[in-house]
Structure 1
Amino acid sequence: MPTFTNGKIFTGLDRTSFASAMAIENGHVTWIGDSNDLNDANAIDLHGKTVLPGLIDVHTHPKYIADALHGVACTPPNVNSIKDMQAALRQSPAFGKGPDTWIEGWGFDETKLAEHRTPTIDDLDEISTTQPIFVYRSDCHSSIGNSKALELAGITADTPDPVGGFIGHFSDGRPNGYMKEVAATQLLIQAKSAQSYQGDVDNMANSSKHYLQNGIVAIGEMMGRMRPYDSLKLYQDAVKAGFKPKSAIYYVYDEVAGNASLRPTNDDQLRIAGIKVFMDGSISGETAYNQQPYPSGQNGVCLTDAAKLRQAVAYAQQQHLQVAIHAMGDAAIQIILDATDHLQPWLSDRPSIRIEHASILSDQMLRQIDQATMNYALVTQPIFFFAEDESYRDYLSPQQFKEAYRVKSMINSKAEFALSSDAPCTPWAEPDSPFVNIYAAVTRTAVNGDIVNPEEAITVPDAVLAYTTWPAKIGGFSGNGQLTPGYAGDFVVLDRDIFTIPANEIKDVRVAATWIDGKKVY
């Protein structure tokens, strides 16, 4: 039974509760209190360091992260042009490995590239025409591939657009390599995954250290798939190979609609939690569905109308699953509220409906949430405006920009609230750093120095709760989120005191150690 003393332990019980000592037995906290009350000569000395409950990222994409970790970051500050991207991809360990090895990258944003355009199949073919190349756009909705990747996916000039996605073409009709939105990107992902299932398992297992070094002990997989294989099987095999974070899988609704066998499971390590619905795209990609048009004159893309959303919700009710709904634009969010605000919640242990991102929220929407019969959660990511401020300034009207990432207003609403990363779906080299996200929520400062709606800033304790106690409730990680008796002995030791350091240093916080079930795992 390990005991710990001389720490600054944030219990997660509320904003102000701290302790200095604790005991863990059989993987669970059995006692927490003052070091003076602990009589154990073998207690582990925390040397005054700050301790938090294990962090929870309830909206991330571990399969994408696993791909990205052995891929190439095509993000600022190192990649700022297509030429930079080509050079970076040539430095990939996969480069030159032969036609069965994919060269992978992630994170490009055409607005941040010197050429101010999306790279094309021709740009990637300059790197290789014999090895397939696949690069995620920063939002992970869209991507680009070279001619070999498109060949393996069976994409030609005559391939029809998948429902909800768009295959880019040059003016002469030839595919230009740009796969716009998730349905199109999946054509390349399925070709890549079908080639090496064991490679995907190995990548997942190897990604475990990445989460642990960020202090993340539990995750929500927001892109569960049935094709080319079941994501549950991927996770089961990855856990056997050493993947440690507790995981909840949300399956893309289009792949499971009508599947009566998909039901929630209760295993603490790995479980099926819900379904994922896409209402729209991203703001930086000008595909979030907005009430006011972008400068291009378009309002974005509506991927799910009210009728289809009601079908998805009815399916979730029948199967007793949670619904996580991707909605960035205000028009998309309004569809969700109008279609569901009057419905009776069907889950009692957590919100029945999660609105993911909720990037633009008006006062009227917040009032509608507060007056709703439905119990909502709002799960958002300030790291987006931190990394993509220019896109938000350029693409949104002044009023829409004022309504962007209203974190404080979300906390003050009736909805449950959590911070998350959506990693690796933002153009930043550390897309799932909890501390960059917390920094953005607390300071409202973008990487370019712009101050974004400072009235929506929150306190550090609230931001920490939004990575511990609150997401545990939203994501169904009922044994996590606190360091109080009965809860999991999962905690992180920080290299500095996040509660007292100057705000501009929060983004530089690092995890000194991560413990799961009372055992040091990082």
Structure 2
Amino acid sequence: MRIALALAVFLAAGVAEARTVIINANGYTLDDIGRLERFGGLIVGDDGRVERLLKPGETADGNVVDAGGRTLLPGLIDAHGHVMGLGFLALQIDLSDTTSIDQALAKIASYAAANPEREWIVGGGWNQVSWGLDRFPTAEELDLAVADRPVWLSRVDGHAGWANAAALKASGITAKTTDPAGGRIERDADGKPTGVLIDTAMALVEKKLPPPTVAENTAALETALRIMASVGLTGVRDAGIDAATWALYEQFAKDGKLSARISAMAAGMDALRAIAPKGPTGWLYEDRLAANAVKLMVDGALGSRGAAMIEPYSDDPENSGLTMLDGAKLRNTIASASMRGFQVNIHAIGDKANREALNAFADIQKMGQPLVRPGIEHAQIIAAEDIPRFAKLGVIASIQPTHATSDKAMAEERVGPERIKGGYAWKTLVNSGARIAGGSDFPVEPANPFYGLHAAVTRQDRDGAPPKGWYANEALTLQQALAAFTTGAAFAGQHESAVGTLTPGKWADFILIDGDIFKMPAGDIWKVKVLETWLAGERVYTRD
């Protein structure tokens, strides 16, 4: 009897020592029905899951960590990002901070001079709108920075690329080169390529790029994971990967190096078949990695006028955008993926693209084929009569709030004063009953989710413009915005049973931040700094 009692005491002590107990926290989480819950700390079991939440002032036995009164939130989840793109852009030329073409050219020239061994100069992040240009840049201008080797720079939205003369030559692009389906080569009055390629035309150059080495891929993923942890992201839905990227993610997961949970969308059906030939993988490696979805591209982007519009662009009356996938081919692809149990996520930005995606989902449902949480990625410009169809069809609207505050300089010019009323219409979507999921589309926008929370509730950029918010009637409440980046993103990734809230039994993914977002002025939310990031009860980031 004494032996049994002693063993019970030993076992109890062992459990207590294995547990991590966070005390003295200013905790917020949503519960499983969407209500905001306050708490003073939490207990993490030795399995890395939340054992229970503590009341303010309460403590418990275990490895005690004093939060020092700091605010504790569930780990934030980006519902639409590009992990490898984030890492590579951090290691290549990033033009997202340039405000003029001259500044961009100077940065490109400096990078090229510092990297004489690189066969190609590669990077991205440029935006002609931010430069005050009413046109695309040209190869001739890029040659002023680098002319001795090919240069290829993707636009900030990833839907256009800027090449110099050497890159055009290396790719065999001439006046005789025809535009591919779903793409466009920008040309001068004589038909000569000017240096910018839109959407599928980008592949004409990209297929000539030297493939990254194993070391470069590894460095890019390590860099991306560090960035994500530093801004409080414990999960991401990676919006379009290939089989090689999946293999790299798996290796990181096996080696215990995957410091964020990645829900991967295969970039099209060929990639899907290569990544998950037997069907959806489910969540693997202690819920660190899954391949349960495919991403399909219907149109391009608004900034490059590749978004497919029902009527022509207001600022380009001869152009209605580009359509990459529609009609029977789109429906057959959705049906094929759905029959195998995969979620289908459709990139749609223009009102025509959103309508085509909704029509396709509706047609598949009419055929009696169940859909696994269908989603529309971006859902940017939607015809007013199509907005209620998201809820009716059960389609998730995956939104990126910082797109609105970045695009406000050109969006209304592109679509006019009437169509813009259905643009970035988050509140209208929520009020219609639609599910939304929040993300950034990083590296198109910064990965910092507090930038997204700020944009969602203020409809302002980080300079506070416009003072009253851009179409402020479409702003979300802070609780709605937080839900988009937690429970909404978790639901979109088919993972709400394990993450998104700090409900007992779910993974202890959480962050400590330097301010209380529910008490500070909304305009300051973007300034929040992440102090610590925890995944499955283990600290994966601490701010120096």
TM-score of the aligned structures, taking structure 2 as reference length: 0.87
**Which residue is equivalent to 1:21?**
41
In structure 2, how many angstroms separate the alpha carbons of the residues matched to 1:125 and 1:241?
44
In structure 1, how many angstroms separate the alpha carbons of the residues matched to 2:86 and 2:204?
18
**Conserved in 2, the CA contact under 8 Å of 1:345 and 1:352?**
no
Please, which of 126, 130, 146 is the counterpart of residue 108 of structure 1? 126
In structure 2, how many angstroms separate the alpha carbons of the residues matched to 1:115 and 1:408?
32
In structure 2, how many angstroms separate the alpha carbons of the residues matched to 1:56 and 1:109?
26
**Which residue is equivalent to 1:66?**
87
1:287 shift after superposition: 1.7
Unpaired segments ≥5 residues, structure 1: none
Please, which of 348, 351, 354 is the counterpart of residue 327 of structure 1? 348
Deviations 1:449-485 (A, max 9, x none): 2622222221111111111111111112342111121
Structure 1 pair 326–445 and aligned structure 2 pair: CA distance change class (3 A): same
Q: Secondary structure at the match of 1:421?
A: coil
Matched residue type, 1:432: A
1:201 shift after superposition: 2.5
1:275 matches 2:275 = no
Deviations 1:199-237 (A, max 9, x none): 1222112221100011111111112135xxx32123234
**Which residue is equivalent to 2:3?**
none
1:406 shift after superposition: 1.4
Choose 251-260 or 312-321, whichever is displaced more: 251-260
**Conserved in 2, the CA contact under 8 Å of 1:89 and 1:104?**
no
**Which residue is equivalent to 1:245?**
260
Structure 1 pair 123–197 and aligned structure 2 pair: CA distance change class (3 A): farther
Q: Secondary structure at the match of 1:466?
A: helix
Q: Secondary structure at the match of 1:396?
A: helix
Structure 1 pair 506–300 and aligned structure 2 pair: CA distance change class (3 A): same
Please, which of 509, 515, 518 is the counterpart of residue 528 of structure 2? 509
Structure 1 pair 238–124 and aligned structure 2 pair: CA distance change class (3 A): farther
1:89 matches 2:103 = no
In structure 2, how many angstroms separate the alpha carbons of the residues matched to 1:131 and 1:203?
23
Structure 1 pair 366–172 and aligned structure 2 pair: CA distance change class (3 A): closer
**Conserved in 1, the CA contact under 8 Å of 2:339 and 2:369?**
no
Matched residue type, 1:358: A
In structure 2, how many angstroms separate the alpha carbons of the residues matched to 1:192 and 1:237?
25
1:119 matches 2:137 = yes
**Which residue is equivalent to 2:419?**
400
**Which residue is equivalent to 1:141?**
159
Larger Rg: 2
**Conserved in 1, the CA contact under 8 Å of 2:232 and 2:530?**
yes
In structure 2, how many angstroms separate the alpha carbons of the residues matched to 1:117 and 1:299?
17
In structure 2, how many angstroms separate the alpha carbons of the residues matched to 1:441 and 1:118?
29
**Which residue is equivalent to 1:210?**
227
- How many residues get paired? 506
In structure 2, how many angstroms separate the alpha carbons of the residues matched to 1:243 and 1:101?
31
In structure 2, how many angstroms separate the alpha carbons of the residues matched to 1:39 and 1:247?
32
Deviations 1:284-306 (A, max 9, x none): 22221122321211222222222
Using the aligned pairs only, state the percent identity: 28
Q: Secondary structure at the match of 1:161?
A: coil
Q: Secondary structure at the match of 2:380?
A: coil
Q: Secondary structure at the match of 2:405?
A: helix
1:159 shift after superposition: 4.4
Q: Secondary structure at the match of 1:492?
A: strand
**Conserved in 1, the CA contact under 8 Å of 2:390 and 2:396?**
no
In structure 1, how many angstroms separate the alpha carbons of the residues matched to 2:169 and 2:117?
12
Please, which of 245, 260, 263 is the counterpart of residue 231 of structure 1? 245
Q: Secondary structure at the match of 1:185?
A: helix
Mapping of residues 176-325 of structure 1, within 5 Å: 176-181=194-199, 183-192=200-209, 194-226=211-243, 230-239=244-253, 240=255, 242-253=257-268, 255-256=270-271, 261=277, 263-266=279-282, 267=284, 268-294=287-313, 295-297=315-317, 298-325=319-346
Deviations 1:226-280 (A, max 9, x none): 5xxx321232345549342211221222644877926211212222121111111
**Conserved in 1, the CA contact under 8 Å of 2:93 and 2:124?**
yes
Structure 1 pair 151–24 and aligned structure 2 pair: CA distance change class (3 A): farther
**Conserved in 2, the CA contact under 8 Å of 1:204 and 1:243?**
no
Please, which of 116, 132, 135 is the counterpart of residue 150 of structure 2? 132
**Which residue is equivalent to 1:423?**
442
1:152 shift after superposition: 4.9
In structure 2, how many angstroms separate the alpha carbons of the residues matched to 1:232 and 1:334?
31
Q: Secondary structure at the match of 2:209?
A: helix
**Conserved in 1, the CA contact under 8 Å of 2:23 and 2:58?**
no
1:496 matches 2:512 = no
1:346 matches 2:341 = no
Deviations 1:398-429 (A, max 9, x none): 11112211112222333321111111224xxx
1:31 matches 2:46 = no
Choose 15-24 or 333-342, whichever is displaced more: 333-342
Choose 164-173 or 214-223, whichever is displaced more: 164-173
**Which residue is equivalent to 2:71?**
50
TM-score of the aligned structures, taking structure 1 as reference length: 0.90
Structure 1 pair 86–384 and aligned structure 2 pair: CA distance change class (3 A): same
Please, which of 381, 387, 407 is the counterpart of residue 406 of structure 2? 387
Matched residue type, 1:161: D
1:439 shift after superposition: 1.1
Q: Secondary structure at the match of 2:533?
A: strand
Structure 1 pair 192–262 and aligned structure 2 pair: CA distance change class (3 A): farther
Structure 1 pair 236–60 and aligned structure 2 pair: CA distance change class (3 A): same
**Which residue is equivalent to 1:432?**
447
Matched residue type, 2:280: P
**Conserved in 1, the CA contact under 8 Å of 2:76 and 2:500?**
yes
**Which residue is equivalent to 1:355?**
376
**Conserved in 2, the CA contact under 8 Å of 1:136 and 1:142?**
yes
Structure 1 pair 91–12 and aligned structure 2 pair: CA distance change class (3 A): farther
**Conserved in 2, the CA contact under 8 Å of 1:15 and 1:462?**
no
In structure 2, how many angstroms separate the alpha carbons of the residues matched to 1:121 and 1:417?
40
**Conserved in 2, the CA contact under 8 Å of 1:253 and 1:312?**
no
In structure 2, how many angstroms separate the alpha carbons of the residues matched to 1:193 and 1:55?
35
**Conserved in 1, the CA contact under 8 Å of 2:40 and 2:58?**
no
1:99 shift after superposition: 4.7
1:101 shift after superposition: 4.8
Q: Secondary structure at the match of 1:341?
A: helix
Unpaired segments ≥5 residues, structure 2: 1-18
Choose 359-368 or 412-421, whichever is displaced more: 359-368
**Conserved in 2, the CA contact under 8 Å of 1:480 and 1:487?**
yes
Matched residue type, 2:299: D
Choose 297-306 or 18-27, whichever is displaced more: 297-306
Structure 1 pair 400–517 and aligned structure 2 pair: CA distance change class (3 A): same
Deviations 1:295-332 (A, max 9, x none): 21122222222222101211111221111101111111
1:23 shift after superposition: 0.7
Choose 259-268 or 416-425, whichever is displaced more: 259-268
**Conserved in 1, the CA contact under 8 Å of 2:308 and 2:351?**
yes
